[in-house]
Structure 1
Amino acid sequence: MASRNPYETYQTNSVTTAPPGELTLMLYNGCLKFIGLAKIAITENQIEDRNRNIQKAQNIIAELMATLNMEIGLAKEMMPLYEYVNRRLLEANIHQDLELLKEAEDIITEFRDVWKEALQINRKQQHSPSKRTMP
């Protein structure tokens, strides 16, 4: 069944056709979006919105954790950081604490920015002409 909303169709297609690296970037951006919405909900005392958006951010963190390849050393270093962010989100939700949300947001922003830079470097390497020398 076709969607009546062209934007929804575009979003679905962009997710289903995106390479894995781009999907990770989308997850980071989605997490930041929900943290931002939760911050607004706290300032407006919207308890249900705060809870829903923090839980969405936590679900994204859980997905990022699930996709880590624990055979790679970097993944072993990232797992505790994701766990820390998840705890901060939980505590922010319980205590309606903007500072805890900001802390989680700062960490995820840094992850997102590093990941985005890595993707750009990878794209440049893939699209640059080979520097082959003649034997």
Structure 2
Amino acid sequence: MTTSKQYKAYQDNAVNTASGGELTLMLYNGCIKFIKQAIKDINEKNYESKNTNIQKAQSIIQELMITLDSEVEISNQLLPLYEYMQFQLKEGNVKNDAALIEEVLGFAMEFRDTWKQVILKTRQKQFAQGASI
């Protein structure tokens, strides 16, 4: 098996065995990666690549929006923020304005970091419950 095929198999396995929380974390990380690349593309005047990377980030945010559980209060607070992020990405794309896209990067990183903490606390709680059995 070639290295690229091995890496693809590893990635597929990582996604297929990840928990819902880990998948959400992967989405945030992917979004951050594409936003950072889009900012770099704007600075380098590589507008075709910028557009592609912003569209990828928008697709990820759309997926995050779709997976929100409307029965959970925090989801009702996140939805308008995700919509704002989508709007800012669109505006940043049209205007080639890195500042608008950087604002979205800040939100994505904050959400990702918060989500990491949720996963860690959940694991700690599960571990503590498992140890007391």
* TM-score bin, normalised by smaller chain: over 0.9
Farther off after superposition, 10-19 or 62-71: 10-19
Question: Following TM superposition, where does structure 1 have runs of at least 4 consecutive aligned residues deviating by more than 2 angstroms?
Answer: none
- Structure 2: which 5+ runs fail to align? none
Greater CA radius of gyration, 1 or 2? 1
What percent identity do the matched residue pairs reach?
46
Deviation of 1:60 (Å):
0.1
Q: C-alpha separation between the residues in 2 aligned to 1:40 and 1:8?
A: 26
Aligned residue for 1:69, secondary structure, equals coil
More helix by share: 2
- Structure 1: which 5+ runs fail to align? none
Deviation of 1:47 (Å):
1.0
Map of 1:119 onto structure 2? 119
Deviation of 1:74 (Å):
0.7
TM-score by length of 1: 0.92
Deviation of 1:16 (Å):
1.3
Q: Deviations for 1:33-66, whole angstroms, at most 9, x for unmatched residues?
A: 0001101110111111000000000000000000
Deviation of 1:4 (Å):
5.4
Structure scoring higher RCO (CA < 8 A, sep ≥ 6) equals: 2
Number of residue pairs aligned between Structure 1 and Structure 2: 130
TM-score by length of 2: 0.93
Farther off after superposition, 28-37 or 4-13: 4-13
> For the aligned residues, what is the CA RMSD?
1.5
Matched, 1:76 2:102: no
